[in-house]
Structure 1
Amino acid sequence: MLKTNKENLVKWSVQGKIHHPLGGNYRITFDGKPMVLPATGGISYNVKIGDSAFNWVGDHVEPGVSIRNENTTENAALTTFACIGNEAKVVSGDAKGKKGYVTGMHGGIEHVMIYFDEETLEDLAIDDKILVKAYGQGLAIEGYEDVAVMSIDPNLFEKLGITEKDGKLQVPVVAKVPAYLMGSGTGSSNAYSGDYDIMTADKEEIKRLGLDKLRFGDLVLLQDHDNTYGTGYLGGAISIGVIVHSDCVKSGHGPGVTVIMSSSKGNIEGVIDINANIGYYMNK
């Protein structure tokens, strides 16, 4: 097993409330069609981890429950320090005491998404408060100083089954995404919060690469993208991320990826595994 500094990481509290969906205006598709669609926020009762990220009649749909703070400074802490796999607990309302886990962060709208089982979803309401045991930022792998690890709970990280071969980390992924498909969010100054999108306007290319089969929670490899200090193209760099929201109708957008690992020197290799999904690992 890889040796990490998990015992030295701080586990502390961040909190948000279930955020009411916004908008209702037309969204213009990449081919010029105006549409009114469900999008971000609220409680998605029938969209969950493990489901396809495609074919929903919606735009940037977030699986499960979406939380946020109206205070921007507090929300920045929530979206930065909540990590995929962290325990989340309902602390107000009819579902008080029920637990789930963080599934991703969505930039722009600045949401954290949470998985809860169906019974809990039925008891939740807009503005219910959810406490997250934030744990994971600062995680590092001994002997791999070039590899930045971010936004993943150390206990989930250990379940991924990462191995070493010829000085590189072997990480399970369901697919590999070429650099030219990374769109909205590229150029952000900080990869420790939010996500960026796989562009899907070219449906034939997406199908050719097998990316049309992506599910919420899938691990993917981003080719030639360095996320160590921001998001952008760098030849030979490799990043690993998790699919956090659905496909989109807008130009330059598509399924969102929250990054969990990045190596500017390419010291990560992807091993194709159809089970490489956080829902699978969380249930192990």
Structure 2
Amino acid sequence: MLLTNKSKLVMQSVQGKIHNPIASSPYRIGRNGLAQVLPATGGITYNVKVGDSCMGWVGDHIEPGVSIKNDNSLENGALNLLACIGNEARVISGEAKGAKGYVTGKHGGIDHVLIYFDGEDLEKMAINDAVLIKSYGQGLEIEGIEEIKCMNIDPVLFDNIGVIEIEKGVIEVPVVTEIPAYLMGSGIGGSTAFSGDYDIMTGDKSANLKFGIENLRFGDLVLLKDCDNTFGRQYLKDSVSIGVVVHSDCIKSGHGPGITVIMSCNTPKIKGKINKEANIVNYIK
């Protein structure tokens, strides 16, 4: 197991409410130019959960499980910045009060934090129920390899993934597939990867087959080649990022499954080892 600074990290509360889906127009324009009426972000999504396929749903940017947001924009900024994948979440109001789950991702643009709860708990929940998260993980560093920027991941989940040092200063991470930089779309150019996500573009069906995108699931770990997320999102040859699939495929041009980055290096110090079971559901206890 790699040594980290996890004992020095701060665990702090952040909170939001289950956010109703929103719609300013009934139509979403697909990459084929056609208007469609589809479910999209927000709410409680009962039949889509982490571990399920993120492809093929009749929807757009579908968020598995529960989507939360804070009405105060500054507080929502902190919620989206500090919550990390794997953090414990607890319902603190409504009929499901006391139910526990865990954070599965962060979705930029709509600025939602996504949470898994058991199905019987979902049935008791309602819009505006409050959810408290024990945020823990931002500032995580691997001792002796500070060039690798860790972000958005609970330190316990990081340990459970089984990241190993394969040679001095080089780590190996289990991933289900490797994605080339030219397939990364919406969200590219963002000023930080410590919040939100960016999308794998899925408009080219041959690429979807070649790189295993058709088989991706919510929660899968993926390697992004030549993708630098250390200080914003950009193309940089030989850089490497690791991310988690957080939302579904999309119909819009330049969009697709969303990736929240959990580590990045602007030099090739991160290697991927293909493991089709590299999904957070297999590492969260």
TM-score (norm 2): 0.98
User: 1:278 aligned to 269, 272, 280, which one?
Assistant: 280
**After TM superposition, where is structure 1 displaced by more than 2 Å over at least 4 residues in a row?**
none
Aligned residues: 283
Map residues 1-284 of structure 1 onto 2, 5 A cutoff. Answer: 1-23=1-23, 25-167=26-168, 168-283=170-285
Residue 63 of structure 1 and its aligned partner are, at CA, apart by 0.2
Q: Render the CA deviation track for 1:139-194: whole Å, top value 9, x for unaligned.
A: 00001111000000000000001111123100000010000000000000010000
State how far apart, in whole Å, the 2-side matches of 1:72 and 1:224 are.
Answer: 33
Q: Which shifted more, 193-202 or 203-212?
A: 203-212
State how far apart, in whole Å, the 2-side matches of 1:239 and 1:190 are.
Answer: 13
Residue 244 of structure 1 and its aligned partner are, at CA, apart by 0.1
Letter of the 1:36 counterpart? V
Letter of the 1:233 counterpart? Y
Structure 1, unaligned stretches of length 5 or more?
none
Q: Render the CA deviation track for 1:183-225: whole Å, top value 9, x for unaligned.
A: 0000000100000000000012111221110000000000001
CA RMSD of aligned residues (A): 0.6
Residue 88 of structure 1 and its aligned partner are, at CA, apart by 0.0
Letter of the 2:77 counterpart? A
State how far apart, in whole Å, the 2-side matches of 1:126 and 1:154 are.
Answer: 30
Residue 25 of structure 1 and its aligned partner are, at CA, apart by 1.8
Letter of the 1:3 counterpart? L
Letter of the 2:225 counterpart? Q
Q: Render the CA deviation track for 1:49-84: whole Å, top value 9, x for unaligned.
A: 110000000000000000001211000000000000
Letter of the 2:54 counterpart? A
State how far apart, in whole Å, the 1-side matches of 2:234 and 2:216 are.
Answer: 22
TM-score (norm 1): 0.99
State how far apart, in whole Å, the 2-side matches of 1:163 and 1:239 are.
Answer: 16
Q: What is the DSSP-based 3-state SS (H/G/I as helix, E as strand, rest coil) of the residue aligned with 1:191?
A: coil
Residue 4 of structure 1 and its aligned partner are, at CA, apart by 0.3
Residue 36 of structure 1 and its aligned partner are, at CA, apart by 0.5
